[in-house]
Structure 1
């Protein structure tokens, strides 16, 4: 993790106070793992080693390299060694005899011209590049998914804390009404309204607790272990802002660097090579053959003096007619090339759309964060005023409930807007082709072990 504040993919920046160095204390015996905290970078490192989708994608990339080497092998010299020993019994009018014969040969064959084999190698070369790009795309997609699940877990825990805090705040209002009711200064309807709200919030707290457990399990699915530590949150001293980099520059970077787009470009190249390889079935092949043979077997399996033979030859094979299968295969490969080209066009349009959407949404979220903070401050003041008004009999319980709901709605909106901003930043970097680790490092610098939700939920 970088200690200093950095730009996210060269585009997102924030004004933050100095980051204090953190020291890791020795774990006392018997302390739960939930006492300690983890951050996004730590989970990212674990997911790189444990996420089955990431591991499978890199295995496919490695297999693609081996298939490329396999295709290259057909262009290189083919050498074979043959050895045989025979027991021969021969009879005629003059002689009847049995004898052993031996034959040894070494043959080297090299294609001098084979268009189909050459283009087949080019196809697998492009497919290897495609699998490498697909592995990078899978890693980028997995990083976005990890971030989404990380902040979903934070949001679920925020909701639990907010429901608990709202219930406690409403309970305090109920206690005040109960005290006023005993003095005959409050109506029974106010008491019942507040009691019903407290009971409803108690039920919602159970649902929120269950949802927090579910989101933790979603994280465990990716990293391959239970995630029980506290999750680092967005620090309160971080000001999220959008840089001056234009949308057009983001789109240009995405078209140049997006791994999904590169994978489809390689797919088009592979389809073109496959088409040329199919057409190569109409071309002649030229091969060079060198052989050496040693045997004591002569014509018609007769016994002969041991003979050494050395042969060099050039062979030409010209295809004339194969029942129309070669032409049909070429026509099919031509259609495959059209499919690959259309897939490339589709992905390119998707890249432009996703970058535009993520950029505009992140830009809107950054502006909305400031407005949400002001709305929360106003809602807090309104709630405090309503509670005081209830004590003096100036407002009723419905007014207090409304002010409390407005305050906690503002708290939820602020937290959700912050998480939306960060997840859209990840999405933007993914489609723009930024290295996943770079995005994680930069966002991780915004996180800290302190809980921003605690400050937000304190009435």
Structure 2
């Protein structure tokens, strides 16, 4: 029994490539993989510089900052200079003459009170914060997408190795039945059943090889280059579990820190400022005007001695009636504010739902991993017993095939549960507003022996 367990351990390492003990990772040779390896953190660093969605989001945030500065410019002094040169020809009953005139002017205007301009600045100030939060949310979403594609690539390569291992295991059973059949100790139906299963697994291997290549291409789309390195796999020497932080605490963090929710909060503030700016159309504006002018042109384009004029004044503009357009604009802006508030409420509810779902699913996955490991051990023992029983003629090929399928189904379930757990942990951190780099680094600590892991929160 000890020798059988050692043999099963070797088949498991070859089939899955996940270290149950500290063994070398197996990778499919058809997927061009170099002798070097990469991990999730390295790909995350590359994706931050190459992912078009992330780059575009930060450009949008920078544009929002510039739009804020543009709106602030309307509140600052407005200085303009004008100059003109004219050639004037005059004719009358008494005189006919031509002369050149020149004029130079400098005008400074500063609003002392302009509610619409002030609230417009407040709107763009909120929109700049919204763009920044949206950029953070985009990066968080991109990090989860990268991790999911990373685990999909691992799962695809695992599936390829599992199909190969199952085919080899079934082939050994077929070889054993062929030997028994030659001695007239096995039925032809057993031989045909096993042969059909081997042929089916060979066909499935072709599809699994294609899926492994496609999963690598999905990673390359985000990283911006072909990913040919070996991918670090889930460590077998660490327990996968969520932190002891309660669900209520995760929800509170999400409501306070989630960048998507903060972006919508800024959107509500911007909508409120836009509404106040619209109402400002009913308010008077007060401005200080300073001007200096030099010209040699007099009344009715007549030639005059050079004159320097300096003017200081206060200007008051009171809107009286604009055909109802200002009131209509205010009503439309009010509805825009209602829309922004409802969108924020929808995002708040989604944050609560996503955090709750990811938290409960991750905890369930953590408990399920232990059960899957026990199920795999039982399936391994059942398969070994069935193969021995076949040698003694106590069972038929159908029983052996069922035991082999059960074992490899248990292997797939264990791997899938591990990847689901890590994906849900990243999703939980994303919606809770944790920095993407910290989340990726912590999950990366659960990949490949030798990586420095941290306690996950």
| Structure-1 separation of matches of 2:403 and 2:49 | 48
Question: Which residue does 1:262 correspond to in 2?
Answer: 262
Question: Which residue does 1:249 correspond to in 2?
Answer: 249
| Structure-2 separation of matches of 1:343 and 1:39 | 37
Question: Which residue does 1:314 correspond to in 2?
Answer: 314
Contact 2:91 2:97 in 1 (8 A): yes
Aligned-residue offset at 1:329? 0.5
Structure 1: which 5+ residue stretches go unaligned?
A: 1-18, 20-31, 451-459
| Structure-2 separation of matches of 1:449 and 1:44 | 19
Question: Which residue does 2:401 correspond to in 1?
Answer: 401
Contact 1:37 1:449 in 2 (8 A): no
Question: Which residue does 2:118 correspond to in 1?
Answer: 118
Question: Which residue does 2:370 correspond to in 1?
Answer: 370
Question: Which residue does 1:175 correspond to in 2?
Answer: 175
| Structure-1 separation of matches of 2:431 and 2:440 | 15
The number of equivalent residue pairs is 422
Contact 1:272 1:337 in 2 (8 A): yes
Deviations 1:317-339 (A, max 9, x none): 11111111111111100000000
Answer yes or no: is 1:223 the counterpart of 2:223.
yes
SS class of match (1:106): strand
Question: Which residue does 2:301 correspond to in 1?
Answer: 301
Map 1:8-87 → 2, pairs under 5 A: 34-87=34-87
| Structure-1 separation of matches of 2:197 and 2:158 | 20
Contact 1:163 1:201 in 2 (8 A): yes
| Structure-2 separation of matches of 1:258 and 1:236 | 32
Map 1:255-404 → 2, pairs under 5 A: 255-404=255-404
Answer yes or no: is 1:136 the counterpart of 2:139.
no
Question: Which residue does 1:239 correspond to in 2?
Answer: 239
| Structure-1 separation of matches of 2:158 and 2:236 | 15
| Structure-2 separation of matches of 1:150 and 1:241 | 20
Answer yes or no: is 1:164 the counterpart of 2:164.
yes
Contact 1:231 1:449 in 2 (8 A): no
SS class of match (1:215): helix
Question: Which residue does 1:3 correspond to in 2?
Answer: none
Aligned-residue offset at 1:75? 0.7
Deviations 1:292-313 (A, max 9, x none): 0011111111111111100001
| Structure-1 separation of matches of 2:158 and 2:186 | 34
> Normalising to structure 2: TM-score of the pair?
0.91
| Structure-1 separation of matches of 2:448 and 2:188 | 47
Contact 1:296 1:303 in 2 (8 A): yes
| Structure-1 separation of matches of 2:300 and 2:179 | 122
| Structure-2 separation of matches of 1:443 and 1:254 | 19
Higher relative contact order (CA 8 A, sep 6+): 1
Runs of 4 or more consecutive aligned structure 1 residues displaced over 6 Å after TM superposition: none
| Structure-1 separation of matches of 2:364 and 2:384 | 30
SS class of match (2:34): helix
| Structure-2 separation of matches of 1:46 and 1:431 | 23
Q: Please report the RMSD computed on the Cα atoms of aligned residues, expressed in angstroms.
A: 1.4
| Structure-1 separation of matches of 2:244 and 2:147 | 24
| Structure-2 separation of matches of 1:435 and 1:178 | 59
| Structure-1 separation of matches of 2:290 and 2:220 | 61
Aligned-residue offset at 1:242? 2.6
